[in-house]
Every structure is written in structure tokens, then in C-alpha cells.
Amino acid sequence: MNYNHLIDLNYYSVEQCQEIIELAIKINNNPEKYLDSCKGKILATLFYEPSTRTQMSFQTAMLRLGGQVIGFDNPSNSSVAKGEGLADTIKTINCYADIITIRSPIEGSAKYSALNSELPVINAGDGGHLHPTQTLTDLLTLKIEKGRLENLKIGICGDLKFGRTVHSLIKALSRYKNNTFILISTENLKIPEYIKEFLIYNNCDFEEVFSLDEAIFDLDILYMTRIQKERFKDEQEYLSQKDVYILDCEKLKKAKKELIIMHPLPRVDEIDNNIDKDERAIYFKQARYGVYARMALILKMLESKTDKNILKGNKTDLKCLNEKCICNTEKNIHNFVIKSNNNIYCEYCEKIIK
Ligand code: NCD
């Protein structure tokens, strides 16, 4: 199977995801076997946004495979600070590395990078859009800790509007049989319209609710998320949202014994620290699994052919209305749209244009 750029996990089939998960489990069970698998290979990490887990787990993954790592985590130390555009940065990194991972506040930036790269590109988070390697981590966690990826009642709580981990997770888990999503948020932070349309189009059950208290009792998974402070235009709005959902021991009393509590981390105050001792809380294990998921992904991608023709839509003169989309921030970029389900979507950020 061919593992082209990882922009959206749903570009890979369910079977491909399964292969990565199986390889990650093998690596987890016998890491010594893979110590030299990427000897002589270089991973470039281009981080235009803060990160602890994603960046360090990518670095750890490559080092544990015997490869090496270059990159920056502070764009003001790179030529971006001199006004270099993303396409030129990517073309330059193509002269140095074997595989690229990029995190940026700009939605669609990973896809645009892939279009300008002969090397495989991994989306390590593009603004409030997607975060496919967190989702790979989440799928691996579920497989190991829950034993299945189907027949699950999944509560997702917090910032469903800006939480890219949420968008990727919903898209991925909707492909498995008999999963139901309980989307727990305030009115202001509801799931974006394009994700809802995606769920409807794929006949996946979901419910939007406000109360965590009322939803918790029959969940198999509770996926808590941080309110994404950096994505709010207005500080006051953030302050009004920030402490609405706090999972504490009292609330957890109502939950099933078999519940698992996940969180992509970082946590701010949406999970009381006392919960950490509860064996249902598995978010630090989840962070550990992220290394194995990324090791497996890197191995699969480096064995594959890279094809930069990943656009699915048509060239257009329509303008994307999302000011955080790459097609409104990068010079010399042409916009593309995808028509589906009576809507027209921006190819880069997936927001509905019409
Ligand atoms: C998440 C992210 O960056 O989107 N963190 C992560 O990668 N593990 C979640 C967050 O920042 O809240």
C-alpha cells in the first residue's frame, strides 16, 4: 500500500490505518528491532506554532529509528522572519531532508506544502483544521486500551469549533461501524458545519448537547479538549468559555467503570488533577503511544512513493472566506474547490464557500 503525504488521515484507507496501527503495536512490543530502520535518513520539523508532544514525539520517533532530525520551533529564527513564503521554505528543505513535518497556524498549509514538495509531508496540525497524527495516536490508544475502534459511544467535550484534534478524530472514527458521537459544547464552540455535513453524508450518528453531566453516564470514551485560546479573536469571548467544562471526581462518579478518558494535551483546567489517579484516565499513556504511532508512520511513508498531485478539486476564481486559510495568506496561490453534497468547499481548509 502506498502512503503518500499525510494531510488528512481519511486520505488513507481504513486498511492503511490498520497497517500503521499494527506496525506501531509491533514496534511497541519490540523497539530494539527498529533501532536502525531509518539510519541515514533525516526528518525536518517545521514548527510555526508551539508544541511539546507532537514535536518531541516526532523527534523521539526518528531518533529511535536511528535517523536524525533538523528543523526549527521558532520561525523567527528562520528565513520566514525575512519574509520567505511557505513554498520557498519547503523547496529549500527538499534539498536537505528525507521527510518533512509541518505545524502552522494557517489552515491548509500542510496541503500547500505537499504540493510544493518531492518529499513526503506530514501535517502536524494546520490551524484549527486537522491534526492527523494525533488521530493516529488516538486510534492506536483505543486499539490498545479499548480493544476496538467500532461500536463506541464517543463523547467529545470542549472546543469543538477550533479543536483540530476533534475534527480529525471525528472524520477517522466515523469510518468504523456503529460509532456514535456525543458532541458536548457551548453554542459558541459547536462543531463546524463542514464536519456536521460530513457526518450526515456518511450516515454517522451524532448528537449535539450542552451538558457533560447529563451525557457522561453511558459513554465509552470521553475525549476532553482544551479551549483553544490562541484561535479566539476576542479575549472576552475566550474568558466566557474557558471554565465551562471541568471534569472532576464528582462528575466522574456518574460514568461507566469501563469509560476511558482521553485528552490530546496540553490540559489547562478542563480536567481536575485528582482525576489523574483514576485508572480510567489514560491521557499520559496516550502521549507515550504517540511515539509508536509516529515511528510506524515514518517507516511506512519512507517506504512509499510520494506523489504531489493530491488536489481533488477544481481551479476556481471563488474566494475562500476563511482569513486563516493558506489561500488568503500565501502569495501566488490558486484556489481550488471541491463540490460535494450540494456544497462548495475550499480545497485547502474545507470551509464551505457556498
Ligand atoms: C493539540 C494540538 O496542538 O492541536 N495538542 C497536541 O498536538 N497534542 C491540542 C491542543 O493544543 O489543545
Q: Give the residue, by CA position, lying nearest to ligand 1 atom 1.
A: 264
Residue bearing cell 463542514 = 194
Residue 208 phi, psi dihedral angles, 5° rounding: -105, 125
Nearest to 99 by CA among 129, 80, 123: 123
The pLDDT value recorded for residue 149 is 98
pTM of the model: 0.97
Provide the pLDDT for residue 342: 85
Ligand 1 contact via 104 beta carbon (within 6 Å): no
Query: Which atom of ligand 1 approaches the CA of 53 most closely?
Result: 8
Residue-wise pLDDT for 1-57, tens only, equals 999 999 999 999 999 999 999 999 999 999 999 999 999 999 999 999 999 999 999
Taking only the tens place, the pLDDT of each residue in 176-221 is 999 999 999 999 999 999 999 999 999 999 999 999 999 999 999 9
Residue 83 has pLDDT above 90, yes or no: no
Quickly state the pLDDT bin for 303 (edges 50, 70, 90).
very high
- 314 Cα to the center of ligand 1, angstroms: 31
Pairing mode, if any, of strands 221-224 and 205-209? unpaired
The Å distance, Cα 123 to ligand 1 centre, comes to 13
pLDDT of 112 reads 97
Q: What pLDDT does residue 74 have?
A: 86
- To test the pocket of ligand 1, the residue of 165, 223, 269, 286 to mutate (highest count of ligand atoms within 8 Å of its CB) is 165
- Contacts of 211 by beta carbon, 8 Å cutoff, 6+ apart: 184
pLDDT at 341 over 80: no
pLDDT value at position 76? Answer: 84
Q: Mutation test of ligand 1: which of 47, 54, 106 has the most ligand atoms closer than 8 Å to its C-beta?
A: 54
**Using CA atoms, how far apart are residues 195 and 65, in angstroms rounded to an integer?**
35
336-340 and 314-315 strand pairing: antiparallel
pLDDT for residue 208: 98
Closest CA to ligand 1's atom 7: 54
265 CB less than 6 Å from ligand 1?
Answer: yes
132 CB within 6 A, ligand 1: no
Percentage of the chain surpassing pLDDT 90? Answer: 95
Model confidence at 144: pLDDT above 90: yes
Kind and range of the H or E element at 224? Answer: strand 221-224
* Whole-number average pLDDT of the chain: 96
pLDDT at 79 over 80: no
- pLDDT score of 309 more than 80: yes
What's the confidence (pLDDT) of residue 308?
82
Looking at residue 82, its pLDDT comes to 82
- pLDDT per position as a tens digit, 213-248: 999 999 999 999 999 999 999 999 999 999 999 999
Q: Is 134 in the pocket of ligand 1 (CB under 6 A)?
A: yes
246 Cα: distance to centroid of ligand 1 (angstroms)? 18
- Is the minimum distance from the CB of 53 to ligand 1 under 6 angstroms? yes
Q: What b/e string do you get for 299-330 counting C-beta neighbours within 10 Å, with b at 16 or more?
A: bbbbeeebebebeebeebeeebebebbbbbbb
For residue 49, which atom of ligand 1 is closest to its CA? 3
Residue 72 neighbours by CB distance under 10 Å: 16
Task: Please tell me if the CB atom of residue 241 comes closer than 6 angstroms to any atom of ligand 1.
Answer: no
Ligand 1 within 6 A of 184 CB? no
Kind of pairing between the strands at 260-262 and 221-224? parallel
**For position 298, what pLDDT does the model report?**
98
List the end-to-end C-alpha distance of the chain, in Å, as a whole number: 35
Q: What are phi and psi of 58, to 5 degrees?
A: -65, -45
264 CB near ligand 1 (under 6 Å)? yes
Give 133-177 as a 3 state SS string.
HHHHHHHHHHHHHHCCCCCCEEEEECCCCCCHHHHHHHHHHCCCC
Report pLDDT for 53: 94
Distance 57 CA to ligand 1 centre (A): 13
Q: Could you tell me the CA-to-CA distances from 134 to 1, 88, 124, 331 in Å, in that order?
A: 21, 27, 8, 30
Inform me whether the pLDDT recorded for 148 exceeds 90: yes
